[in-house]
């Protein structure tokens, strides 16, 4: 591609070409996902025992993350050093070694080559050369760190330590949710017909919920008049959006506004779907947190989950939802979390629209040429604000993106 010229307005404009250019997509793999960033790999609870391993991705690069027999965590590319075959394609596994199905090369749980079938040949004939050294054929490994039970990896020696990368504001908000031992509830996988950055923008777009998600507003779950705000870290790449339950006065003010949000006469047949418990003691009923480039941690009412955003091509994205609960939940709270999981995910009452709007944009890009989107709500800065009527966190993503991509 020709060098992308960013509009002179800076962060308040985003050229539509960034969502559709195949050369830029390849560059993102190298400079973002395989560059000096930390990417979500899994939750520690997904590797409970020594010998456990699972397949995942960093961007679109297949990766294996494993708990070695000494209890340490590691990760390496999911690709045999021999002929490039995928090593782990069943999702999860357990054992002392991982064996390639093609020619039976074997690796330990750090990705080190431990065995080559017919290395010495048969009856003195064939086999690998005498100077073949397995040490030179280990699989490329990632640096791995865990924070609050969340496992991240990076291909880059230049990436700062994970906690430094997150910064104090984001680290504190992660600890708020990951405050005690968790248990898994389940997974959802969602395919999105759009570029991965469109979903990442959507996560950081803190005011669309009052317009797009009628379930939120109809049943008074989330309204823009509620107390809340945006936290954007110094790099711009990480953010938190949060809100608290609306007061009666805020609800009255909102109902008087000229928005398409209120649907009079609508009632839930089962109100327990949105019944909540203030288990954090701060009144926050929604917190969405993102870590650049593609990790999301959510608390929506009492529904807890992480989301992994995975590019699958210029116009396709996989979104992986992992739902969890606390190990000491009582039965009523556990049922509440399971029920509220229906609010989000591929067919969620709230987030179903998020899976569609990115596709609407992707379908409209043909012929866009040098046109760009307008990202000016709340000003031109990419800083924290005491309002959600802003696109500051979206601008923050593009601030970090441009820095990593040299744009």
Question: Residue 304 domain-assigned?
Answer: yes
Please check whether residues 395 and 290 belong to one and the same domain. yes
- Say if 85 falls within a structural domain: yes
For the chain, report the end-to-end CA distance as a whole number of angstroms. 13
Q: Do the domain assignments include residue 17?
A: no
Co-location of 323 and 371 in the same domain: yes
Tell me the pLDDT tens digit for each residue of 66-80: 999 999 999 999 999
Last residue of a domain, one of 116, 147, 178: 147
Q: Residue 126, exposed/middle/buried by CB under 10 A (0-12, 13-18, 19+)?
A: exposed
For the stretch 357-398, pLDDT in tens is: 889 999 999 999 999 999 999 999 999 999 988 999 999 999
Strand partners for 54: 65, 92
Say whether both 138 and 209 belong to one domain.
no
Which of 147, 181, 213 corresponds to the end of one domain?
A: 147
Question: Which pTM was predicted?
Answer: 0.92
Q: Domain containing 95 — which CATH number?
A: 2.102.10.10
Residue 218 domain-assigned (yes or no): yes
pLDDT, tens only, 131-186: 999 999 999 999 999 999 999 999 999 999 999 999 999 999 999 999 999 999 99
Residue 62 forms part of a structural domain: yes
Residue 26 in any domain: the answer is: no
CA angle (142 as vertex; 186, 92 as ends), nearest 5: 30
Q: 337 and 243 in one domain? A: yes
What's the pLDDT band for 110 if we cut at 50, 70, 90?
very high
Do 245 and 389 lie in one domain? The reply is: yes
Q: What is the CATH number of the domain that holds 359?
A: 3.90.380.10
Confidence at residue 226, expressed as pLDDT on a 0 to 100 scale: 75
Is the torsion defined by CA of 165, 201, 35, 74 positive or negative? Answer: positive
**Cross-sheet strand order for the sheet of 113-115:** 98-99, 106-107, 113-115
- Of the residues 88, 116, 147, which one is the last residue of a structural domain? 147
| CA 248 to centroid of chain Cα atoms | 35
Indicate whether 124 and 254 sit together in one domain: no
* Residue 7 domain flag: no
- Indicate if 212 and 324 belong to the same structural domain: yes
Same domain, 198 and 308: yes
Of the candidates 146, 156, 64, the one whose C-alpha atom is nearest the C-alpha of residue 110 is 64
The whole-angstrom separation of Cα 361 and Cα 198 is 8
Residue 14 located in a structural domain: no
- Same-domain check for residues 125 and 174: no
Total domains present in the chain: 2
Tally of CB atoms within 10 A around 148: 17
**Residue carrying structure tokens 């990419």:** 382
Distance CA 259, CA 257 (A): 6
Q: What is residue 347's predicted lDDT score, i.e. its pLDDT?
A: 78
Tell me, yes or no, whether 141 and 204 share the same domain. no
The range of the structural domain enclosing residue 58 comes to 39-147
Q: Are residues 61 and 195 in the same domain?
A: no
Is pLDDT at 248 greater than 50 in this prediction? no
Q: Indicate whether 277 and 368 sit together in one domain.
A: yes
On the question of a cis peptide bond just before residue 293, with omega within 30 degrees of 0, the verdict is: yes
């Amino acid at each position: 591609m020709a060098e992308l010229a960013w509009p002179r307005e800076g962060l308040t404009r985003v050229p539509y070409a960034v969502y559709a250019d195949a050369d830029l997509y390849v560059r993102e793999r190298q400079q973002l996902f395989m560059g000096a960033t930390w990417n979500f790999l899994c939750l520690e609870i997904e590797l409970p025992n020594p010998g456990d391993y699972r397949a995942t991705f960093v961007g679109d690069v297949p990766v294996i993350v494993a708990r070695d027999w000494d209890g340490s965590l590691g990760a390496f590319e999911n690709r045999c050093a021999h002929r490039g075959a995928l090593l782990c394609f069943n999702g999860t596994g357990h054992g002392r070694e991982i064996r390639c199905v093609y020619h039976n090369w074997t690796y330990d749980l750090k990705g080190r080559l431990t065995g080559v079938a017919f290395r010495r040949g048969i009856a003195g004939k064939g086999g690998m050369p005498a100077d073949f050294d397995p040490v030179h054929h280990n699989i490329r490994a990632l640096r791995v760190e865990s924070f609050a039970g969340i496992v991240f990896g990076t291909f880059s020696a230049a990436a700062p330590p994970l906690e430094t990368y997150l910064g104090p504001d984001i680290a504190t908000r992660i600890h708020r949710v990951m405050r005690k031992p968790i248990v898994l509830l389940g997974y959802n996988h969602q395919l999105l017909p759009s570029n991965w950055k469109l979903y990442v923008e959507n996560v950081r777009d803190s005011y669309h919920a009052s317009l797009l998600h009628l379930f939120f507003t109809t049943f008074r779950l989330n309204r823009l008049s509620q107390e809340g705000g945006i936290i954007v870290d110094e790099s711009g790449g990480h953010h938190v959006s949060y809100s608290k339950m609306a007061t009666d006065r805020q609800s009255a003010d909102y109902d008087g506004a000229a928005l398409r949000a209120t649907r009079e006469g609508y009632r839930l047949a089962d109100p327990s779907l949105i019944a909540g418990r203030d288990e954090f003691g701060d009144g926050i009923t929604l917190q969405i947190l993102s870590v650049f480039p593609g990790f999301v941690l959510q608390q929506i009412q009492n529904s807890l989950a992480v989301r992994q955003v995975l590019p699958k091509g210029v116009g396709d994205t996989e979104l992986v939802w992992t739902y969890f609960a606390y190990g000491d939940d009582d039965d009523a709270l556990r049922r509440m979390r399971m029920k509220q999981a229906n609010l989000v995910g591929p067919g969620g009452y709230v987030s179903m629209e998020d899976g569609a709007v990115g596709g609407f944009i992707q379908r409209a890009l043909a012929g866009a040429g040098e046109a760009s989107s307008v990202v000016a709500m709340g000003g031109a800065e990419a800083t924290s604000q005491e309002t959600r009527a802003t696109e500051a966190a979206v601008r923050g993503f593009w601030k970090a993106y441009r820095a990593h991509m040299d744009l």
